[in-house]
């Protein structure tokens, strides 16, 4: 019996089968599969088109099945859901990871046909190729998320990623760089004649990340009370995320006389066009990647300073602040907008000089204890000798 196409039409283009359909008044098109031995004719891809119609078109009540390409499912169902439900930065990260790593891996595979051993081979291959632990973990999490979504919507009964296993341990993360207090002091002094560069680095040195630096508006800067209200992040080509990357990132941070003076001086020199502290000539938020290449790196080289990136300023700030509260991350984590665990694992760096002083202090304490014990022993021996003589 010939299987009937439920909606739209199928056509071949550039070596692949495509399905053209209408969603409301808009005509849309989706790739069904590459032309191959499995899909030689239109008839071969009709089930694929019908599966898509069952998901996309509300009037079609066909049962959902896993006989749909993973690529088609992700691009037609999962990523649009992420875009609508998650923060823009999350969607952007998922989209890039999908395009670079997962879409080529999944290829023409279908949801129902993907097995745990496929994921095991793929993830292990990434680890053997030298990919770091965090990167492999992020990719695995995205894979698990997309299959969990398929399970939740009824396309699958089990998530194949749950039983996948890494057969090779991924490379341990490399030590992330940070600026020391001495380096930060030298950078701020060296950039005095470059106000825009000075403001960019000063904001990094009080704990803002690159996207948050771009998102600061003058209305967020309260120099009278020494506060910057961190309310948004901007990434990519002026993509604004109100509220920042996570709920913790919406916060107020304290600034002191040094940064207050830098900001007030900069505001008097450079009137704003659209309200952002750091703007380009058109009034758009300054693109800090290009700014570092064009301005900061040459300035650092001229001053004999090492460029470690904006985020190294954030790490250096948290490390320096932690030193003033006896290393307690709970007292500084809010300032930087993340959890205590993240602060300890990624931001607060060991300070060798402090470690040495702490070790010597411990040694001194142990020495004192030993001396007191020896003194006590000597006193005991004296009393015992005196008792015998009596």
Which residues, listed in sequence order, are joined to residue 233 by a DSSP beta bridge?
Answer: 241
Q: Is residue 357 part of a domain?
A: no
User: Once rounded to an integer, what is the mean pLDDT over residues 109-117?
Assistant: 92
The residue among 115, 148, 174 that closes a domain is 174
Lowest mean per-residue pLDDT among 79-83, 244-248, 286-290: 244-248
Q: Are residues 204 and 242 in the same domain?
A: yes
Tokens representing residue 313 in the block: 């300023």
- pLDDT at position 1 is 41
Longest Cα pair distance anywhere in the chain, in angstroms? Answer: 118
Burial track 57-87 (b if 16+ CB lie within 10 A, e otherwise):
beeeeeeebbebbbbbbbbbbbbeebeeeeb
Q: Are residues 163 and 50 in the same domain?
A: no
- pLDDT at position 61 is 42
Q: Which residue has the higher pLDDT, 50 or 82?
A: 82
Question: Which residue shows structure tokens 């599966």?
Answer: 51
Is pLDDT of 141 > 60?
yes
**Domain coverage including residue 123:** 71-174
The residue among 174, 207, 224 that closes a domain is 174
Is pLDDT of 351 > 50?
no
Distance CA 282, CA 130 (A): 42
Is pLDDT of 282 > 80?
yes
Give Cα 18 to chain centroid, integer Å.
35
Q: Is residue 259 part of a domain?
A: yes
Is pLDDT of 167 > 50?
yes
CA angle 31, 83, 120 (to 5 degrees): 65
Total domains present in the chain: 3
% of residues, the chain, pLDDT over 70? 76
Is pLDDT of 73 > 60?
yes
Burial of 47 per CB tally in 10 Å (0-12, 13-18, 19+): middle
Q: Is residue 99 part of a domain?
A: yes
Q: Are residues 303 and 338 in the same domain?
A: yes
Tokens representing residue 323 in the block: 């030193």
Q: Is residue 370 part of a domain?
A: no
Residues 6+ apart with CB under 8 A from 267: 218
Q: Which residue has the higher pLDDT, 19 or 118?
A: 118
Q: Is residue 368 part of a domain?
A: no
- pLDDT at position 335 is 66
Q: Is residue 186 part of a domain?
A: yes
Q: Are residues 329 and 216 in the same domain?
A: yes
- pLDDT at position 68 is 86
Q: Which residue has the higher pLDDT, 365 or 275?
A: 275
Distance CA 348, CA 324 (A): 12
Q: Which residue has the higher pLDDT, 360 or 50?
A: 50
Is pLDDT of 383 > 90?
no
- pLDDT at position 23 is 66
Q: Are residues 216 and 149 in the same domain?
A: no
Q: Is residue 166 part of a domain?
A: yes
The residue among 31, 46, 63 that closes a domain is 63
% of residues, the chain, pLDDT over 90? 42
Q: Are residues 309 and 205 in the same domain?
A: yes
pTM, full prediction: 0.58
CATH of the domain at 187: 1.10.443.10
Contact 214, 236 (CB under 8 A): no
Is pLDDT of 99 > 80?
yes
**CA end-to-end span of the chain, whole Å?**
118
């Amino acid at each position: 019996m010939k299987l009937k196409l439920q909606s739209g039409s199928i056509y071949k283009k550039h070596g692949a089968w495509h399905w053209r359909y209408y969603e409301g008044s808009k005509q849309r098109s989706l790739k069904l599969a590459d032309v191959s031995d499995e899909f030689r004719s239109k008839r071969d891809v009709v089930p694929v088109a019908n599966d898509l119609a069952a998901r996309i078109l509300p009037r079609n009540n066909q049962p959902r099945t896993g006989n749909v390409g993973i690529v088609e499912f992700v691009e037609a169902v999962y990523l649009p859901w992420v875009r609508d439900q998650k923060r823009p930065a999350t969607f952007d990260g998922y989209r890039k990871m999908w395009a670079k790593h997962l879409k080529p891996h999944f290829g023409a595979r279908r949801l129902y046909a993907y097995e745990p051993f496929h994921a095991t081979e793929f993830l292990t291959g990434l680890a053997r190729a030298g990919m770091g632990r965090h990167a492999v973990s992020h990719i695995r999490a995205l894979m698990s998320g997309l299959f969990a979504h398929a399970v939740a919507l009824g396309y699958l009964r089990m998530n194949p990623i749950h039983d996948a296993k890494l057969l090779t341990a991924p490379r341990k993360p490399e030590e992330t760089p940070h600026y020391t207090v001495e380096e930060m002091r030298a950078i701020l002094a060296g950039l005095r004649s470059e106000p825009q560069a000075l403001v960019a680095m000063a904001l990094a040195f009080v704990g803002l990340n690159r996207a948050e630096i771009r998102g600061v508006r003058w209305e967020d800067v309260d120099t009278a009370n020494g506060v910057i209200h961190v309310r948004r992040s901007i990434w990519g080509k002026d993509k604004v995320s109100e509220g920042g990357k996570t709920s913790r990132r919406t916060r107020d941070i304290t600034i002191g006389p040094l940064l207050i003076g830098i900001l007030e001086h900069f505001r008097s020199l450079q009137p704003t066009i659209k309200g952002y502290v750091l703007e380009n000539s058109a009034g758009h938020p300054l693109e800090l990647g290009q700014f570092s290449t064009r301005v900061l790196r040459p300035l650092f080289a001229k001053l004999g300073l090492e460029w470690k990136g904006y985020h190294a300023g954030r790490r250096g700030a948290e490390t320096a602040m932690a030193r003033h509260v006896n290393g307690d991350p709970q007292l500084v984590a809010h300032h930087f907008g993340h959890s205590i665990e993240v602060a300890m694992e990624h931001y607060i760096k060991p300070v060798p000089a402090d470690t040495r002083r702490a070790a010597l202090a411990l040694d001194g304490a142990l020495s004192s204890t030993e001396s007191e014990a020896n003194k006590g022993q000597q006193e005991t021996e004296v009393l015992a000798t005196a008792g015998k003589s009596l």
